[in-house]
């Protein structure tokens, strides 16, 4: 299969491109498209054969449920039941935006394989003009996981999608780089109090500010114990894994220099992911992720930096961590996942 890329990242009339995407989707195909978080790989959520193509293209385990993207808040009632008032408040506050809400699903509407074995469904209205225009033109729900091959970092630009899925999908709608850079917050509204299953762009503090108490994973480590039964099934798979082992290290210039020296003495080539200001001349590669302590910039740039490390022949990656302020909690969650929980301490 030839993968076509259409760019809608300009001022032209793009209606032909949207129609092309919608034709493919209505015909049971899959299309990659930008959201404000990461690129998604969409299929019509009411068409089980189409949804099956997502799992095939990604190489994704088919027991991991997909998020359903909708174009307007009113659509929630078509796919979910028992929607609490607190959820309405969250939608008013954060939709469109990087917040996925898990509800009891309305039986018989969304294809069974979107949420295999679950009686819940995760819904989100993305805050991206291209995603919203696509949803409006389609006039239907889009099941869409991140548009990476399973086990790769989520794509934050069309080129990342092409790297992973070239020849496996018919179309990529290119809307430029995504804004947030890490995936949406997944909040289980069927739990009481609601529970954050995956931290993301909408923080625990922001949610608590609207609805009061929320539960969140107590551990910051992305490496889950085997015996722990994670409620967001996606959390049980090794995710965002770079090709070389990645270690999280303190965001301290001299500590990183020292670490690189030590690794060099062991004959290892080292790629470093860190803030713009650091000058680690010893590093074999240095990939910048924005100003020190700027967690939003780090979210935007992290996955791209991990992908760049994959293009080197580094034996090992050191990635400077950050605090949990704002989107920092999500950034550290993903970084520790990529590290499989490993921290470099000499």
Nearer to ligand TXA, 68 or 271 (CB): 68
**Exactly one of 14, 35, 146, 301 binds Mg ion (CB under 5 A); which one?**
146
Q: Which residue is nearest to ligand TXA (CB)?
A: 234
Kindly state the smallest distance separating residue 38's Cβ from ligand TXA, in Å.
Answer: 5
Kindly state the smallest distance separating residue 94's Cβ from Mg ion, in Å.
Answer: 20
Kindly state the smallest distance separating residue 259's Cβ from Mg ion, in Å.
Answer: 30
Under rule CB under 5 A, residue 14 binds Mg ion: no
Which one of 12-20, 138-146, 213-221, 304-312 is the stretch in contact with ligand TXA (CB under 6 A)?
138-146
**Exactly one of 8, 87, 186, 316 binds ligand TXA (CB under 6 A); which one?**
186
**Exactly one of 113, 115, 156, 203 binds ligand TXA (CB under 6 A); which one?**
115
The phi, psi pair for 39, rounded to 5°, reads: -70, 140
Under rule CB under 6 A, residue 163 binds ligand TXA: no
**Exactly one of 21, 30, 130, 144 binds ligand TXA (CB under 6 A); which one?**
144
Site for Mg ion (CB under 5 A): how many residues? 1
What does R_g of the chain's alpha carbons equal in angstroms? 20
Under rule CB under 6 A, residue 66 binds ligand TXA: yes
| Matching residue, tokens 């069309």 | 158
Under rule CB under 6 A, residue 64 binds ligand TXA: yes
The site for Mg ion (CB under 5 A) is made up of 146
The site for ligand TXA (CB under 6 A) is made up of 35, 37-38, 40, 64-67, 98, 100, 102, 115, 118, 120-122, 126, 144-146, 183-184, 186, 197-198, 232-235
């Amino acid at each position: 299969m030839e993968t076509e890329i259409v760019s809608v990242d300009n001022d032209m009339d793009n209606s032909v491109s949207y129609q092309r995407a919608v034709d493919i989707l209505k015909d049971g195909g899959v299309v990659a498209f930008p959201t404000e978080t990461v690129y998604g790989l969409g299929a019509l959520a009411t068409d089980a054969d189409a949804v099956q193509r997502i799992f095939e293209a990604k190489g994704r385990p088919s027991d991991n449920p997909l998020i359903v993207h909708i174009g307007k808040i009113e659509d929630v009632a078509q796919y979910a039941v028992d929607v609490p008032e607190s959820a309405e408040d969250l939608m008013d506050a954060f939709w469109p935006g990087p917040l996925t809400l898990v509800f009891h699903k309305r039986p018989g509407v969304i294809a069974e394989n979107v949420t295999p074995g679950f009686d819940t469904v995760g819904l989100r209205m993305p805050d991206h003009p291209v995603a919203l225009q696509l949803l409006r033109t389609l006039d239907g729900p889009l099941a869409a996981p991140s548009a990476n091959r399973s086990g790769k970092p989520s794509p934050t630009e069309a080129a990342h999608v092409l790297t992973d899925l070239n020849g496996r999908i018919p179309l990529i709608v290119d809307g430029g780089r995504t804004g947030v850079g890490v995936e949406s917050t997944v909040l289980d509204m069927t739990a009481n109090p609601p529970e954050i299953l995956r931290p993301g762009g909408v923080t625990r503090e922001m949610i608590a500010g609207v609805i009061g108490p929320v539960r969140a994973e107590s551990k910051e480590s992305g490496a889950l114990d085997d015996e722990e039964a994670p409620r967001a099934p996606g959390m049980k798979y090794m995710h965002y894994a770079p090709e070389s082992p990645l270690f999280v290290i303190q965001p301290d210039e001299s500590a990183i220099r020292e670490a690189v020296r030590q690794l060099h003495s062991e004959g290892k080539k080292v790629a470093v992911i860190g803030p713009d200001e650091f000058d680690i001349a010893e590093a074999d590669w240095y990939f910048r992720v924005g100003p020190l302590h700027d967690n939003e910039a780090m979210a935007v740039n992290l996955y791209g930096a991990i992908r760049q490390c994959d293009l080197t022949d580094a034996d090992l990656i050191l990635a400077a961590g950050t605090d949990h302020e704002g989107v920092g909690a999500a950034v550290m969650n993903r970084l520790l996942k990529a590290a499989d929980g490993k921290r470099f301490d000499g």
